[in-house]
Amino acid sequence: MTSASGPGELGAFLKARRAQLAPRDLGLPEQDSRRKVAGLRREEVAQLAAISVDYYTRLEQGRVRASASVLATLARALRLDDDQQRYLYQLAGKTDARPHRRQPSQRVRPAMRRLLDQLTATPAIVLGKRLDILEWNACAAALYTDFSQLPVDRRNYLYLLFSDPIIRSMHLEWEHDARDAVAALRMESAADPCDPELARLVGELSVRDADFRTWWAEQRVNNAAYGTKRYRHRLVGDLTLDCDTWSSPDGSGQRLMILTAESGSPSDDALRILTSWAPGQPSGSLSPTSG
């Protein structure tokens, strides 16, 4: 461990770094066209790092020293590269404390993939940790969106539910569905509360959406194993679908989510139309990523 250069220098570095970032760099809304400060506001950095605004302000002012865990969250929030991270820890005198834990890759189990391939007439998605969308079938893409056209780090069910205007608007009971999804993520977070990707997702959504920020703070939990969802699809109209999820028995946290309609119902007919528009398309896949 090296000696600290002083909390004042650490604060100056943090202030300079946030001035280099624009909200759009982090996928945050730019609602105020005449911002008083260059780059990110202190409040935005604090929310992305999941720390209080008061604590972050005192860090920048050199009135407190940062712990190793706070440095880790700040490094992610400010998108520091390896050199910048080393410098950050050197300023804090904690270069030996930087975490190096690697997250195992999320790989879809072969049995789960076979199940997905056999479901050709109903939407089905394999959800991983943090509700990441790992794989999907053609009917799911027709119902929601072409997930393959999204950046890998945006293929997340909760992120799309809050940030994608098409997916958000198609949920006729959006608040109910969104709150259930937040509660499901909160329940999953207990298995790995120090997951850096979880911290990034929660921080970004907390800044982006006031509803998410409020519901996450409520600490409501729900395994969201089954329920009914009502959609208004832009092409086939209204659908009422039963949503059921089955957890993988291997402890990976992967779940298969299937949406079905009552046989012979208008929703069943709508699903058949959606399926006919995407015949023979292979299921999508998320390349293995850490986390």
Q: Is the pTM of this model over 0.85?
A: no
Most confident of 13-17, 23-27, 147-151: 147-151
In the predicted model, is pLDDT for residue 27 greater than 90?
no
Across 38-43, average pLDDT:
84
Burial 72-92 (b: 16+ CB within 10 A, else e): bbbbbbbebeeeebebbbbbb
Q: What is the pLDDT of residue 233?
A: 95
Query: What do you get for the CA distance between the two ends of the chain, in Å?
Result: 28
Q: Is 193 exposed, middle or buried (0-12, 13-18, 19+ CB in 10 A)?
A: exposed
For 202-238, what is each residue's pLDDT tens digit? 888 988 898 998 998 887 888 778 899 999 999 999 9
Region of poorest pLDDT, from 5-19, 113-127, 245-259: 5-19
Q: What is the pLDDT of residue 276?
A: 85
Residue 98 pLDDT class (50, 70, 90 cuts): very low
Single-letter residue type at 66:
A
Please tell me the distance from the alpha carbon of residue 34 to that of residue 31, in angstroms, as a whole number: 9
For 150-177, what is each residue's pLDDT tens digit? 999 899 999 999 999 999 999 999 999 9
Average pLDDT for the chain: 83
Q: What is the pLDDT of residue 32?
A: 59
Region of poorest pLDDT, from 54-63, 179-188, 280-289: 280-289
Written as six digits, the tokens of 169 are: 């608007």
Single-letter residue type at 116:
L
Contact 31, 22 (CB under 8 A): no
Please tell me the distance from the alpha carbon of residue 14 to that of residue 8, in angstroms, as a whole number: 10
Contact 106, 130 (CB under 8 A): no
Q: Higher confidence at residue 104 or residue 59? A: 59
